[in-house]
Amino acid sequence: MARRAPAVERSIAVLNFLAARPNDRFTLSEIARAASLNKATLHAILGALTESGFVLREEERKTYSLGPALVALGGAAVEANPAVQLAVPQMQALSDSLGLDCVASTAIEDQIVILTRTSSNRPFGIDVRPGQRLPLSPPLGTVFVAWSPQVQIDRWLAKVGPSATKADTARYRAAVESVRVRGYSLGLGGEPVPRSQRSPRKPRTLEENVRTVRMDEYALIELDHSAAYRLNHIGAPVFGPDGRVTLALFLIGFQGDIAASEVPRYADALMGASARVTELVHGRAPAQIG
């Protein structure tokens, strides 16, 4: 295992925090609280990042935001990962035809990272932006681990936390199996936000959206065809040339309850798009899990 470099990890934490909120500006104190960093340490980090152009400092308000040097890095990263570019037209076609937003994300270490999003321009959506991150731990991330070797699935299940029961772990394992069999994941949403509390100018953040779901019932294992569901997402994998899940595409922004009979229509459209992206990147679905 490589030796940890605390200074590098702290710099990454600062950049990830700013990347998740690209339209906002933050003071040193606000970043220190959010990233759990000592102010003196953070001051040195921000100084180095500002000097390199990775962070921009506004002198009048003494606030910080992402810097212009990251534009070139981002462009180079997109060039190095053509799957993202190839996915966008398929995603936009889904948004246009289904009236839903579509998000592409990937798994990096123990996190799910948002890469890009296409919009249906419907009001009261979820504020999902490239760079935002979620924990890759149960029940989140089944679509990323469902086609993995058993040792990786067990490692994911081990992150469930000390409060989880044996029944919880069994449910998460069943959710993984269900995703692998049907080819897509289903996540249930929580209670709807009352219309009087919605703000068209400030949609719910990704973190707020996740906090509304009931984690014990988030992963929908089997559809009851006589029921209707408040869906958080439908997700499908994009496989790379090595048979691993390189991206996942998610439909989000469902309004109201969705009849179970309607779910396959959305899922088939999403899986068709993810299959086309898989083909474009010369990917292949794994023949077996072992």
Please give the residue range of the domain that contains residue 246.
Answer: 81-280
Residue that has been written with the tokens 């419907």 in this structure: 122
Confidence of residue 177 (pLDDT cuts 50, 70, 90): very high
Most distant CA pair in the chain, distance: 60
Q: Is residue 95 part of a domain?
A: yes
Mean pLDDT to the nearest integer, 268-274: 97
DSSP string, 213-282: S-TTT-B--S--TT-EE-EEEEEEEEE-TTSSEEEEEEEE---S-EEGGGHHHHHHHHHHHHHHHHHHTT
Q: Are residues 218 and 99 in the same domain?
A: yes
Q: Are residues 115 and 231 in the same domain?
A: yes
Q: Are residues 134 and 215 in the same domain?
A: yes
**How many CA atoms, within 13 angstroms, populate the side-chain half-sphere of residue 20?**
17
Instruction: Report which of 290, 286, 285, 270 is spatially closest to residue 104, judged by C-alpha positions.
Output: 270
Confidence of residue 198 (pLDDT cuts 50, 70, 90): very low
Q: Is residue 289 part of a domain?
A: no
Q: Is residue 165 part of a domain?
A: yes
Residue 26 belongs to domain with CATH number:
1.10.10.10
Q: Are residues 141 and 251 in the same domain?
A: yes
Q: Are residues 86 and 42 in the same domain?
A: no
Residue that has been written with the tokens 């919880």 in this structure: 168
Q: Are residues 53 and 132 in the same domain?
A: no
Q: Is residue 285 part of a domain?
A: no
Q: Are residues 41 and 156 in the same domain?
A: no
Both tokens of 245, joined, read 């899940």
Residue 96 belongs to domain with CATH number:
3.30.450.40
Per-residue pLDDT of 224-240, as tens digits, reads 878 888 898 999 999 99
Instruction: Report which of 207, 272, 200 is spatially closest to residue 234, judged by C-alpha positions.
Output: 272
Q: Are residues 19 and 139 in the same domain?
A: no
Q: Is residue 1 part of a domain?
A: no
Q: Are residues 147 and 198 in the same domain?
A: yes
**Total number of domains in the chain:** 2
Q: Are residues 52 and 127 in the same domain?
A: no
Q: Are residues 14 and 143 in the same domain?
A: no
Residue where one domain finishes, among candidates 35, 69, 103: 69
pLDDT at residue 193 in the model:
46
Q: Which residue has the higher pLDDT, 204 or 14?
A: 14
Q: Is residue 286 part of a domain?
A: no
pLDDT at residue 168 in the model:
86
Per the prediction, the chain carries an average pLDDT of 83
Confidence of residue 110 (pLDDT cuts 50, 70, 90): confident
User: Does residue 21 contact residue 127 with C-beta atoms inside 8 Å?
Assistant: no
Q: Are residues 109 and 182 in the same domain?
A: yes
Strand (E) or helix (H) holding 8: helix 6-19
Both tokens of 88, joined, read 């966008």
In the predicted structure, residue 55 carries a pLDDT above the cut 60: yes
- Reduced to 3 states (helix: H, G, I; strand: E, B; else coil), residue 127 is strand
**Cis geometry, peptide bond prior to residue 139 (ω within 30 degrees of 0):** yes
Q: Which residue has the higher pLDDT, 205 or 149?
A: 149
240: exposed, middle or buried (C-beta count within 10 Å: 0-12, 13-18, 19+)? middle
Q: Which residue has the higher pLDDT, 69 or 80?
A: 69
Instruction: Report which of 105, 104, 28, 101 is spatially closest to residue 64, judged by C-alpha positions.
Output: 28
Both tokens of 222, joined, read 């089997």
Percent of the chain at pLDDT exceeding 70: 83
Both tokens of 200, joined, read 């068209």
Q: Is residue 74 part of a domain?
A: no
Q: Is residue 287 part of a domain?
A: no
Residue where one domain finishes, among candidates 47, 69, 91: 69
Neighbours of 147 (CB within 10 A): 21
Residue 123 makes CB contacts below 8 A (sequence gap 6+) with: 200
